[in-house]
Structure 1
Amino acid sequence: MFISAALVSLTVALAQVGQVIAHGGVLSYSIGGQYYNGFVAYNTPTGQKTIQREWDTYNPITNPTDGSLSCNTNGANLGSGQLSATVAAGSKVIAYWNQWPHTIGPVMVYMAKCPSTCTSATASSLSWFKIDQAGLISGALPTGTWAQGQLVANNNSWTSTIPASLPAGEYMIRHELLAIHTSDQPQFYPECAQLKLTGGGSSSPSGSYLVKFPGAYSASDPGVTIDIYSQPTVTNYTIPGPAVWRG
């Protein structure tokens, strides 16, 4: 049977649309009042210029020890197209997601200090600290109000504040959604962008506030491997990862 190239192209395009609708990622940012486009997934990195690290798929990472968990697949810098946003410590960062379909699960935001330039840094080697998180806001696990529901209600966006006491320098910021609406496996959606922080203070996180990706989560964490539907009356949820460092 003859199948036209146009039909094949249409089939592939529709499959990608289905992936976008089912899953997602951060498409753009407002950082210190300045707007930045993100990386465009499913497109070649050649010619793209953005503060965001490359991410190639809207599909989730389902293994909490996956090597791509730091900045998604493949998390590489864009070479000459890699930019960094200059922003003052204490500024607000708004991440805009695609039309996010899930409303059950936590929202987490991390940062990491780059040893020199972030463009030359490998995300999995950085020490990450959490600056923001929210999980189950009210109600029971399967029917309550979650942070992801609030994200959806707020035009698919999430606003965080960079700690004002962080020293100036180059940092990565990592936004992550953990969708737990399925009973069989967690769905991690991490995205990273590069910042050049100005101003600031002299406080830096240490000890238990610092984690690696992968390494921060395990399948045995109660907030990672969880069947919310088998616990219809439970009203508490443990967000995975370290405590929030507030400076």
Structure 2
Amino acid sequence: MLVSAALTALAMAVPQVAAHGGVLAYSIAGTYYGGFKAYNTATGQVSIQREWDTYNPITDPTSSVLSCNTNGASLGSGQQSATVAAGSSVTAYWNTWPHTIGPVLVYMANCGGSCSSASTSSLNWFKIDQAGLISGNLVNGTWGMGELVANNNSWTSTIPSSLAAGNYIIRHELLAIHTSNQPQFYPECAQLVLTGGGSGSPSGSYLVKFPGAYKMSDPGVGIDIYSQESTTNYTIPGPAKWSG
């Protein structure tokens, strides 16, 4: 099945919620995986993605569901994990996305055992990819989210090749900041079984928890871009990216 055809079918199967959204599917090391179907019961669904129930944003950076969206639960018997080698690419396909102002962030967390039984808010997350303000100013410049929209509403990241094998959750997040002083977080999670790799394991300041990684006073979170339109730099929230 072609990815584009599969995404079209998925988009037709869910409510079209203006200005909001989530990840519909993944391509991991060349294999296609359908995502969880929001607004449908979790019963009977089979996916590598954790449950997410709404296209609406999370607007509180301290929300209890910031790790993997509402409600972020395992699908039980329907929960799967994608087996992937370290160093492979992961592409997340979002619904038709209208916002182009804000960063794209990708995190991973080692479950230390079964991811299906892990509480995502207690995991230690590290960032493997990010893109903020790429060029220009805060209002009219090119952002990571603008690049995502231009690339057919998709984002591709590479898992660090030195990351140790194990059970992981990967977390994709868009942070829309087009509304003054009101951040809109869109986090989505999926489960991976990582093979190969090396002995790499991030520690110290590279690790954060959700909630806990962000606060409204962070310069890249509670920001009014329109009061500083000519500014040409942006501080991406969260820890530094871990490259292995």
The alignment's TM-score, normalised by the length of structure 1, stands at: 0.92
**SS of corresponding position for 1:132:** strand
Aligned length: 231
Asked if 1:124 is matched to 2:121, the reply is yes
Residue 46 of structure 2 corresponds to which residue in structure 1?
49
**SS of corresponding position for 1:167:** coil
Inter-partner Cα distance in structure 1 for 2:143 and 2:181: 19
Asked if 1:146 is matched to 2:143, the reply is yes
Residue 12 of structure 1 corresponds to which residue in structure 2?
none
Match of 1:68 among 58, 65, 68: 65
Residue 25 of structure 1 corresponds to which residue in structure 2?
22
Please list every run of 5 or more consecutive structure 1 residues that lacks an aligned counterpart in the other structure.
1-15
Inter-partner Cα distance in structure 2 for 1:87 and 1:172: 12
Inter-partner Cα distance in structure 1 for 2:100 and 2:203: 32
Superposed displacement of residue 115, structure 1: 1.4
**SS of corresponding position for 1:173:** strand
Residue 5 of structure 1 corresponds to which residue in structure 2?
none
Structure 2 residue identity aligned to 1:109 = V
Match of 1:216 among 213, 216, 220: 213
**SS of corresponding position for 1:23:** coil
Which 4+ runs in 1 deviate beyond 6 A?
A: none
Asked if 1:167 is matched to 2:164, the reply is yes
Q: Flag the structure with larger Rg.
A: 1
Structure 2 residue identity aligned to 1:66 = S
**SS of corresponding position for 2:148:** helix
Please list every run of 5 or more consecutive structure 2 residues that lacks an aligned counterpart in the other structure.
1-13
Superposed displacement of residue 22, structure 1: 1.8
Asked if 1:242 is matched to 2:212, the reply is no
Inter-partner Cα distance in structure 1 for 2:124 and 2:209: 5
The alignment's TM-score, normalised by the length of structure 2, stands at: 0.93
Inter-partner Cα distance in structure 1 for 2:187 and 2:61: 11
CA displacement 1:138-189 (0-9 Å, x = unmatched): 0000010101000000000000000010111100000000000011410000
Inter-partner Cα distance in structure 2 for 1:220 and 1:115: 32
Match of 1:179 among 176, 179, 182: 176
Superposed displacement of residue 126, structure 1: 0.3
**SS of corresponding position for 2:226:** helix
Residue 200 of structure 2 corresponds to which residue in structure 1?
203
Q: How does 1:102-117 map to 2 (within 5 A)?
A: 102-117=99-114
Structure 2 residue identity aligned to 1:219 = M
Asked if 1:87 is matched to 2:84, the reply is yes
Superposed displacement of residue 99, structure 1: 0.1
**SS of corresponding position for 2:187:** strand
Superposed displacement of residue 232, structure 1: 1.2
User: Percent identity of the aligned residues?
Assistant: 78
Inter-partner Cα distance in structure 2 for 1:212 and 1:232: 32
Structure 1 residue identity aligned to 2:166 = G
Inter-partner Cα distance in structure 1 for 2:123 and 2:196: 22
Inter-partner Cα distance in structure 2 for 1:17 and 1:44: 14
Inter-partner Cα distance in structure 2 for 1:184 and 1:43: 32
Structure 2 residue identity aligned to 1:152 = V
Asked if 1:157 is matched to 2:154, the reply is yes
Superposed displacement of residue 17, structure 1: 3.6
Structure 2 residue identity aligned to 1:119 = S
